[in-house]
Amino acid sequence: MKVVEKNKQDEDELEIILAEYQLLQSFRQNIVDAALNRTKFYFSIVPAVVGVATILSQIIGVNEIFKTSILLLDLYLLLLGITTLNRIIESQISAVTYTRGINRIRRYFVEKHSNLEKYFLLPTTDDVPKFQTIGFSRTKIISLGQSTAVIFTNSFLASFALYAVSTYFKLSPIIYIGITILAFLATVIFQYRGYKKKVKTAESSFKSRFPRT
């Protein structure tokens, strides 16, 4: 009788674990797809606006109304880019969290059947993967990920906006160039530091139950 109850308990436990595993997989896939779709939308609307602006400049010329309209469009794209970056960062953090949850469940099977560990290619510890997924190593860019591409695009938009504003004042060309470069670098640093801060917060708030030993 006790054996039957034990088997029933093991079956219920396995069913719950597998349901949780499938739920985490579904959440992770949904969040990855959502971030990818948001990025695709952003990188489709930016060149579209640039193309329309180029055509309009040839039709109506570059007058004050046109310059003001382009500046407003640029600021709109910059706002859209910032919200897109925040969405991507949140999605990356969520995806890593769900992946760590999947690793934790994989650990469950290893503890139940230790002989299975040699067949698992993916980790059985829940302190990996790392939340730092921006695509930078210490010495070089190893990959141009979603967040990196959006950061650089936002920086170009910010530098153009500041350049457009500065053209309302009579400045020398070298000052225009300096303003544009400084705006670009400052925006890159600002976004990158914000990214690192969110990643650090996510890393510190995640409590690992099965770290690597």
At 131-141, the pLDDT tens digits run 875 444 333 33
Give how many domains the chain has, as a whole number. 1
The answer to whether the beta carbons of residues 110 and 86 sit under 8 Å apart is no
Does residue 210 lie within any of the structural domains? no
The reported pLDDT for the residue numbered 73 is: 92
Q: Tell me the C-alpha distance between 9 and 186, whole Å.
A: 59
Spatial separation of the C-alpha atoms in residues 76 and 66, rounded to whole Å: 15
For residue 212, tell me if it sits in a domain. no
Q: Within the chain, what is the greatest distance between any pair of CA atoms?
A: 92
Mean pLDDT, rounded, for 20-35: 94
From 12, 212, 164, 197, select the one nearest 86 (Cα to Cα).
Answer: 197
Q: How much is the average pLDDT of 138-145? A: 45
Is residue 152, in this structure, part of any structural domain at all? yes
Residue 11 lies in a domain: yes
Q: Flag whether 183 is in a domain.
A: yes
In a domain, 93, yes or no: yes
Q: Which amino acid is at 20?
A: E
DSSP 115: G
- 193, pLDDT greater than 80: yes
**Amino acid found at 22:** Q
Supply the pLDDT for residue 55: 86
Per-residue pLDDT, 125 = 93
Would 211 be classed as within a structural domain? no
By mean pLDDT, which of 12-26, 114-128, 130-144, 195-209 is the weakest? 130-144
Q: What's the rounded Cα separation, in Å, for the pair 58 and 52?
A: 10
Q: What is residue 144's predicted lDDT score, i.e. its pLDDT?
A: 53
Question: What is the band of 101 on the pLDDT scale with cuts at 50, 70, 90?
Answer: very high
* Mean of the per-residue pLDDT values of the chain: 87
Q: Which domain holds residue 35?
A: 2-205
- Predicted pLDDT of residue 133: 54
The band of 54, judged by pLDDT with boundaries at 50, 70 and 90, is confident
**Is residue 129 a contact partner of residue 154, using CB atoms and an 8 Å limit?**
no
Backbone angles phi, psi at 168, to 5 degrees: -75, -10
Q: Residues 156-185: what's their mean pLDDT?
A: 88
Please state the rounded mean pLDDT for residues 179-208: 93
The CA distances from residue 10 to 7, 14, 112, in Å, are 5, 6, 10
Average pLDDT on 73-83 reads 95
* Residue 59 is assigned to a structural domain of this protein: yes
Higher pLDDT pick, 82 / 170: 82
CA distance 9 to 4: 9
Beta bridge pairs of residue 136: 141
**pLDDT score recorded for residue 4:** 67
What's the pLDDT at 12?
87
d(CA 89, CA 91): 5
The whole-number pLDDT of residue 42 equals: 96
